[in-house]
Amino acid sequence: MPADRVILLRHGESTWNAEGRRQGQLDPPLSALGRSQAEAVASALAEEAAISEIVASDLARAWRTAEACAERLGVAPATDTRLREMDIGRWAGQLRGAVEAAEPERLARITAGEDLPRGGAERLADLHARVTAAVAERVEACPGGTLLIVSHGGPVRVQVASLLGCEGAAAQAIERPANAARTLLVRAGDGRWRLAYHNYPPPPAAKIP
């Protein structure tokens, strides 16, 4: 029996999140705060839900967050490279302000809805195609109950759009989740997915000295 509940979890803060850098598919680690956030959300999930399966992006910031959850939940995590963040090519590693200053016209066209390759790499349609396929397969393969997917801001938005039956462009209207925030979708009796909550904040993390 496939999963009837899906929890989408964005990874904890990375060192580049803290610096305001665009990440894409480059692989900075979790920051000290990010590690604390991962432990905190793992504790919250252990109290709230019985997780049947955990699948995560293989990028370190998502995988380490998934490992923290797996340790508390007693479920071995799997990886799926299709859950990686969007490939943003030449933008990866750059400060957000630097990209905005260097390519304002391209960013304006993207903001207006034109699906251009981000940094010369993936389009939103590319992200939607791979994430949609991954989510559909993982939901069907899950042994019932709740599936926990640990990934990134872009894929979480696309996953929400996909499960709600929306086209890829609709993902841009969905609020980008905060680090370690989670989203819950529940399958209704008619087989359709319902959004129970989105961008639910994790409990306060321990202060970092």
What would the mean pLDDT of 81-94 be, rounded to a whole number? 98
Spacing of C-alpha 111 from chain mean position = 20
- Average pLDDT rounded to a whole number, residues 5-34: 97
At 139-155, the pLDDT tens digits run 999 988 999 999 999 99
For residue 201, name the pLDDT band (cuts at 50, 70, 90). confident
Residue pair 174/160 in contact (Cβ under 8 Å)? The answer is yes
Q: How many domains, in total, are found in the chain?
A: 1
Q: Residue 193's domain spans which residues?
A: 5-200
88: its two tokens: 């943003």
- Report phi then psi at 63, rounded to 5: -65, -40
- 163 domain residue, yes or no: yes
Is residue 45 in a domain? yes
Instruction: Considering the candidates 39, 67, 85, 122, report the single residue annotated as catalytic.
Output: 85
- The pLDDT of residue 35 is 97
Q: Residue 54: inside a domain, yes or no?
A: yes
Mean pLDDT of 96-124: 95
198 is catalytic: no
**162: CATH:** 3.40.50.1240
39 inside domain: yes
**Is residue 53 a part of any domain in this protein?**
yes
Backbone φ/ψ region at 191: left (φ over 0), alpha (ψ -120 to 50), beta: left
Task: Write the pLDDT tens digit of every residue in 151-199.
Answer: 999 999 999 998 998 876 777 888 899 999 999 999 998 989 999 999 9
Q: Per-residue pLDDT averaged across 30-51, rounded? A: 93
Q: 142: buried, middle or exposed (CB in 10 Å: 19+, 13-18, 0-12)?
A: buried
Domain membership flag for residue 208: no
Q: How far is CA 156 from the centre of its chain?
A: 4
Look up 152 and say whether it is catalytic: no
